[in-house]
A and B are shown apart, each in its own frame.
Chain A
Amino acid sequence: MLRAALDALSIWTVPVLVAGIPLLGLARGVKVYPVFLEGAKEGFAVAVRVIPPLVAVFVALGLLRASGALGAFGAAVEPLTSRLGIPASVVPLLVIRPLSGGGALGVVGEVLRADGADSYAGRLASVMAGSTETTFYVLAVYMGAVGIRRYRHALPAALLADLAGFAASVLVVRAMFGP
């Protein structure tokens, strides 16, 4: 029931916004079309401004993956993580999740396939991936769009949030589904 309501919400929201906002604008006496064009004109500029920081982040991550550095890190922390209740197959997710959204989905897909979707590892990987974001991508896009080069405490704060998300995932999934 709740599920159906949430599904309907996801399907209806975008169309309602796209139709509703211009309608509301018209009702309020806004010159909807020229105002829309004025706003839309900036879309391309924003996309172009985001290219340099995205290239920097994507290249760094691509190299980390291709060089085997990511895999080596996973192997190095394995003894610690297995004691915390994180199966070896899920460990790469801890590193990849903040770095690459596509990469993270790849890891989750692999865990679901190898360990089973309804296994402890499968559920843990699902919750971890669903409760955190691609931190480096978000920071590169958001900060890059306004030309910020000094992030100050944004990276540590965002990574601590990821860490909290991961820790909570382990605790909740362990409590609900057991290892």
Chain B
Amino acid sequence: MSIVWVLLLAASFAAAALGGRMGDLTLALASSAQGAVTLSLGLAGVMSLWLGLMKVAEEAGLVRGLAFAARPLLRLLFPEVPPGHPAAGAMVMNVGANLLGLGNAATPFGLAAMRALDELNPRKGVASNAQVLFCALNTASLQLVPTTVLALRAAAGSRAPGDVIGPTLVATACAALAAVASAKLLARFFPAPAPEP
């Protein structure tokens, strides 16, 4: 990540130097940094609500029940997560919320899943295979109805805003399959260091 980050910054600097847009960089710096904080703090309220509900659902046995139902699939994708572990329940809730297009609800469940997966992670600070696969799946936009895009299309005067739902589902499924395949296949080329004592 360090290399990627420095590359992005260096590319911007080089492009700005060539294009004479150095002044724009300074402006963009301040507004981007500000935007990151606004977004994080905006997350805090919804995050608290869902983490609270999640805790109640967990104590009520709901999360465990869901994880139980999805057990065969989870065992296939995440063999290192023991059945009944809180990570399984949180991941199921996250994927469920994603499918329904509830981005605001999906993120807290996803973060809860990442924390539960981290309990199983012998090397803190280094992503485990399960964490990589879970993140990759989340970048594949598992959504039944792309609500934001539909709203945009309707606003732009489309006669059939919904005609992209089918193609989007197919493309999403391909992205998800590619996420699973590449996370599994690439794992051996990115070995994790030996566990801390």
Contact = CB atoms under 8 A, between A and B. Distances in A.
B119 to A, nearest CB: 10
A162 B139 contact: yes
A5 to B, nearest CB: 10
A149 to B, nearest CB: 5
A152 B193 CA distance: 10
A77 interface: no
User: Interface range on chain B: under 10, 10 to 19, 20 to 34, or 35 or more?
Assistant: 35 or more
Interface class of chain B by DSSP: helix
Contacts of A172: 167, 170-171
B136 A161 contact: yes
Nearest to B4: A155
Given A131-B141, A133-B138, A10 B101 contact: yes
A88 interface: no
Contacts of A21: 53, 56-57, 60, 62
User: Interface range on chain A: under 10, 10 to 19, 20 to 34, or 35 or more?
Assistant: 35 or more
Contacts of A25: 56-57, 59-60
A57 B135 CA distance: 16
Given A59-B29, A66-B27, A67-B13, A30 B60 contact: yes
Interface of A: 3, 6-7, 9-10, 13-14, 17-18, 21-22, 24-25, 27-28, 30, 32, 35-44, 46-48, 50-51, 54-69, 72, 98, 105, 108-109, 112-113, 116-118, 122-123, 126-135, 138-139, 141-143, 145-158, 160-169, 172-173, 176
